Structure 1
Amino acid sequence: MMRIDSHQHFWRYTPQDYRWISDEMAVLKQDLLPQTLQLALQRHGIQGTVLVQACSSVQETRWLLELAGQHDFVRAVTGWVDLSSPALQQALDVISHPLLRGFRHQVQDEPAPAQWLADPAINAGLRQLQKQEYVYEILVTHRHLRDAVQFAERHDNYFLVLDHFGKPDLSLGAAHWKQQVAPLAALKHVSCKLSGLLTEPRPAGMSARDLLPYFEAALEVFGAERLMFGSDWPVCLLADTDENPWDLCQQATTTLSSDEQAAIYGGNACTVYQLQPLPITGND
């Protein structure tokens, strides 16, 4: 089974395209490209990744697909498309690619995320995506998990994936988050990425180890069969220098069975994103 990082990004940094990168995120204000990530993947035994959009741009999606075609470790791409466009099908036809397996929009950055999730044009667009078996990744914060449930209930014809645990409010604790996310986890077509926790705002004194109860809660409500490891590289570089997502998830899953670990570290991503086996190399 391939070990898969289900969530990573690349970009050539420009302030106008990546407005979400604030002045406090100086380490992200640079080009972050495959060669740099590849070293980390090798250190942590990761054979493949899912490359995810980071700005609302079809041009970025085309570029990500070009990169994916040049680097064998990128096994799938989650891109961006304007779901509300009357010309959505034309846009999908233009960017169609064997490695394009899903789409995402940074709903959390919308002025009114709940309104966006309820928009009839957006919902019509998502129905169209699901008919063509594209995964859709939901990027919201804890403030809009209830709206995400209603959204997900309307769209059960293909896989939906909740990014970054749904960005919990860490000041309220794992039990509160579990209660919030349980209605979404009850929908069997929804999976969750074990990603992003290290860079969520933490109460003073909260260590990386204090995040482990969130993994335990995720296992209780989603089960190992609907969870996927994701590094959120390079955003994870914002964490303290002695913290990284690979080690954190390893700590959280060390007591699981080998089958459960295989599911979280690759099996589930292979199913959701229809990943193809790596080519066999070496001497005959």
Structure 2
Amino acid sequence: MQIDAHQHFWKFDPVRDAWIDDSMRVLQKDFLPEDLIPLLQANQIDGCIAVQADQSEEETQFLLKLAEKYSEIKAVVGWIDLLNLKVEDRLAYFSEFKKLKGFRHIVQAEPKGFMLTPEFQNGLSKLAKFGFIYEILVYAHQLPDAIEIVQKHPEITFLLDHLGKPNVKTKEIELWQKNISQLAQFPNVHCKISGLITEADWSSWTYEQFVPYLDIITKEFGPDRMLFGSDWPVCLVAGEYEATVDLVKNYISKFSAEEQASIMSKNAVELYNLK
């Protein structure tokens, strides 16, 4: 079984989804399971993890309803207001949904220090009680905050989305590498090989541009803590679904069969406790 550990669904709303501006016009429409499933099948991917793209419980419920209907959606990573003083009550409610495995907040849109506030720390501290993971979505310059929260919460399983979003377009790598090295020292942190092509020049990226970043991730995390994700449909601004699959499979082709299986399947199955 091969798993796409990172993709999104939405019914496009120009007000709610204002982040999808005219430069991303290809995303200004609905993207639903019936659009993704043929792509999964064509690329021999058996299932996917639906990840939040909107900061609302309504979207979490929307994704859970899709997961009930489509067996290809193996798990959901939703959103919950971690700043809510009654967050534990909401976590107890959501713990009844078996396909809901964790939560994410779009921290890349928040000011520096957001994750270090007492309110966020309090909400985060409640996740492990209910067996939920937390996915870290930050820009590269926010990685020091990520390092600090991981250090403070060894009881939580963390997944770093999109390699911590290095700026591939400007070839930024040294500071990102330093922070990735620190973050990878914590054994409860795993890394998604996802979202790469959207951090490069959308119209002229090449496979070779990504190799130095993937080499660093492999060195620091190792194949036992790496997961493949397409970031579909966001990836469409820079390439088709197949391009995200081919990029990762090309890179890991030199790995052992066991290591390839870990990245494409085993790690996702274990981390998300897929049935």
Q: Which TM-score band (shorter chain)? A: over 0.9
What pairs with 1:158-237 in structure 2 (closer than 5 Å)? 158-170=156-168, 171-174=170-173, 176-202=175-201, 206-237=205-236
Q: Which runs of 5+ in 1 are unaligned?
A: 277-284
Q: Contact 2:60–2:79 (CA<8 Å) still a contact in 1?
A: yes
Aligned residue for 2:126? 128
Aligned residue for 2:93? 94
Aligned residue for 1:27? 26
Aligned residue for 2:258? 259
* Residue correspondences, number: 273
Q: Contact 2:141–2:176 (CA<8 Å) still a contact in 1?
A: no
Partner of 2:127, secondary structure, is helix
Partner of 1:51, secondary structure, is strand
Return the alpha-carbon distance in structure 2 between the equivalents of residues 240 and 275 of structure 1.
29
Aligned residue for 1:147? 145
Return the alpha-carbon distance in structure 2 between the equivalents of residues 242 and 32 of structure 1.
13
Partner of 2:82, secondary structure, is coil
Q: Contact 1:79–1:102 (CA<8 Å) still a contact in 2?
A: yes
Q: Contact 1:65–1:100 (CA<8 Å) still a contact in 2?
A: yes
> Residue type matched to 1:159 in 2?
T
Aligned residue for 1:72? 71
- Alignment TM-score, normalising by the size of structure 2: 0.95
Return the alpha-carbon distance in structure 1 between the equivalents of residues 52 and 203 of structure 2.
31
Partner of 1:256, secondary structure, is coil
Q: Which runs of 5+ in 2 are unaligned?
A: none
> Residue type matched to 2:244 in 1?
P
Return the alpha-carbon distance in structure 1 between the equivalents of residues 200 and 209 of structure 2.
13
Partner of 2:211, secondary structure, is helix
Q: Contact 2:43–2:242 (CA<8 Å) still a contact in 1?
A: no
> Residue type matched to 2:40 in 1?
L
* CA distances 1:84-133 after superposition (whole Å, capped 9, x unpaired): 101212222333301000000000011x1x32111111111111012211
Aligned residue for 1:47? 46
Q: 1:88 to 1:168 in 2, by over 3 A?
A: same
* CA distances 1:205-245 after superposition (whole Å, capped 9, x unpaired): 64233212211211100000000000000001111459710
Q: Contact 2:197–2:205 (CA<8 Å) still a contact in 1?
A: no
Aligned residue for 1:84? 83
Q: Contact 2:92–2:130 (CA<8 Å) still a contact in 1?
A: no
Return the alpha-carbon distance in structure 2 between the equivalents of residues 203 and 183 of structure 1.
29
